[in-house]
Amino acid sequence: MTRYLVGSISELTPGSKKIIQAGGRSVGVYNLGGELYAIRNLCPHQSAGLCEGITSSFVTSTGPGEFCFEHEGEIARCPWHFWEFNIKTGQMMVDPKVRTKTYDVEVERFDVSVDEQQVFVHM
Ligand code: FES
């Protein structure tokens, strides 16, 4: 398994994302409430840059005029046809058999004197 540098942890504040090139692939790295996740920036529908869409919630409804927002800030919505994927699992929200690849993310302190931490993705 090879690891690729994402950048400094200070670039990935909660709620933010960063798209990197790693091993010939485009990968989106997300900070969801302090936890880091990485998914392939490739929509399984028609190969759009999945991570280039908005990060949102999954909206459900039990009836007219009633809405519930689930997985707040944990959904990657494809910019082309709006398929939605759970960033934590890579699974499509309405059909979990469809998924985009997920990757492990590691945070490493490289210079204790400045208390700086680097983020790596494993592929
Ligand atoms: S290419 Fe992503 S939803 Fe169609």
**Per residue in 98-109, pLDDT tens?**
999 999 999 987
Query: Is a pLDDT exceeding 60 seen at residue 111?
Result: no
Whether 69 and 59 have beta carbons less than 8 Å apart is answered as: yes
Q: CA nearest 14: which of 99, 80, 73?
A: 73
Q: CA nearest 42: which of 88, 96, 79?
A: 79
Is 122 a pocket residue for ligand 1 (Cβ < 6 Å)? no
Cα(108) to centroid of ligand 1, in Å?
34
Mean pLDDT to the nearest integer, 7-12: 91
The total number of residues shown for the chain amounts to 123
- Measured CA to CA in angstroms, residue 18 lies from 23, 61, 62 at distances of 16, 31, 35
Q: Write out the two tokens for 104.
A: 């492990």
Name all domains of the chain by residue range, CATH numbers in brackets.
14-105 (2.102.10.10)
Is 80 a pocket residue for ligand 1 (Cβ < 6 Å)? yes
Is 49 a pocket residue for ligand 1 (Cβ < 6 Å)? no
Q: How many CB atoms lie within 10 A of CB 70?
A: 12
- Measured CA to CA in angstroms, residue 69 lies from 14, 18, 29, 84 at distances of 19, 24, 23, 13
Cα(50) to centroid of ligand 1, in Å?
7
Query: Is a pLDDT exceeding 60 seen at residue 119?
Result: yes
Q: Residues 22-77: pLDDT tens digits?
A: 999 999 999 999 999 999 999 999 999 999 999 999 999 999 999 999 999 999 99
Strand, helix or coil for residue 10:
helix
Whether 104 and 122 have beta carbons less than 8 Å apart is answered as: yes
pTM of this prediction?
0.91
